[in-house]
Amino acid sequence: MPTVLITGANRGIGLELARQYAADGWRVLATCRDPDRAADLAGIGGNVETHRLDVDDASSVDALAVDLKGQSIDVLFNNAGVIGKRGASIADVDYDVWARTMATNLFGPVRVAWALRDNVQASTLKVMAFTGSKMGSIGQNTGGNVIYRSSKTALNMAVSCLAQELESKGVTAVVFHPGHVRTDMGGPTAPVTAPESVAGMRKVVAGLVPGDNGTFWNYDGAPLPW
Ligand SMILES: NC(=O)c1ccc[n+]([C@@H]2O[C@H](COP(=O)([O-])OP(=O)(O)OC[C@H]3O[C@@H](n4cnc5c(N)ncnc54)[C@H](OP(=O)(O)O)[C@@H]3O)[C@@H](O)[C@H]2O)c1
């Protein structure tokens, strides 16, 4: 069966990704900052291995790459992310929060993707999926939340560059908007459930072809403007 690696797999969308891929018989490399406190993840049945990973920490990413050397990863799901500060306008922005948000939402996923590129290239499917956000779309910007929005816009550009750099290696790199999802980040009244979001993204991943490299998708399979 194929292998998926998921970042931020202890709760929210990442946990549901782990659940659904495991239920489908995949080998799941579920990563999180503190495996000792990931009870929900530990409760998933199937072929699930938990690995410690803080995407902000280069030494943590390097250690994971060493652990996984020589193992193929069909789908690398760069899911971990933070909101930063909700509602931030440029007038009252906190630059330290902004920097930390960029570290997690931009540098983290790029660092993980680059560290594990050989694992993805060695696989059959060769997919890198990134959980971005419609809030990172310049074409659909309605203003506000500059910290979160800009971190996801920057992620879009980084994935677009990565897609070009890895195209000759057969990698298909895509960004997803998972929907407004009922998680700690999305809040209890968000319209989309994690199972719906993840089922949609998994369906898109399953249908990807090399020509989709460097594209931006809604969870339901609709294309999104950068
Ligand atoms: N929910 C939505 O409506 C929505 C909409 C658009 C995009 N997204 C994106 O979807 C992704 C998942 O969101 P979610 O709703 O599932 O959020 P969530 O419930 O807040 O979960 C966030 C996950 O990211 C992990 N994480 C944060 N910083 C990390 C780091 N430095 N290293 C490793 N893991 C880290 C968290 O781990 P800890 O438990 O250790 O904090 C947690 O597992 C995020 O990238 C988010 O921006 C969500």
Q: What is the rounded average pLDDT for all residues in the chain?
A: 97
CA of 168 to the centre of ligand 1 (A): 31
Q: What is the pLDDT of residue 154?
A: 98
For the structural domain made of 3-218, what CATH number should be given?
3.40.50.720
Backbone φ and ψ for 122, nearest 5 degrees, come out as -80, -5
Q: What is the pLDDT of residue 124?
A: 98
Q: Whole-model pTM? A: 0.98
Q: What is the pLDDT of residues 160-181, one digit of tens each?
A: 999 999 999 999 999 999 999 9
In the chain, domain spans? 3-218
Q: What is the pLDDT of residue 49?
A: 98
Give ligand 1 pocket residues (Cβ under 6 A).
7-8, 10-14, 32-33, 53-56, 79-82, 104, 108, 131, 133, 177-178, 180-181, 183-186, 190
Q: What is the pLDDT of residue 153?
A: 98
Q: What is the pLDDT of residues 79-136, one digit of tens each?
A: 999 999 999 899 999 999 999 999 999 999 999 999 999 999 999 999 999 999 999 9
Alpha helices in the chain (DSSP H): 12-23, 39-42, 58-67, 95-102, 108-115, 117-121, 146-166, 194-207
Burial of 43 (0-12, 13-18, 19+ CB in 10 A): exposed
Which residue is closest in CA terms to ligand 1's atom 1? 186
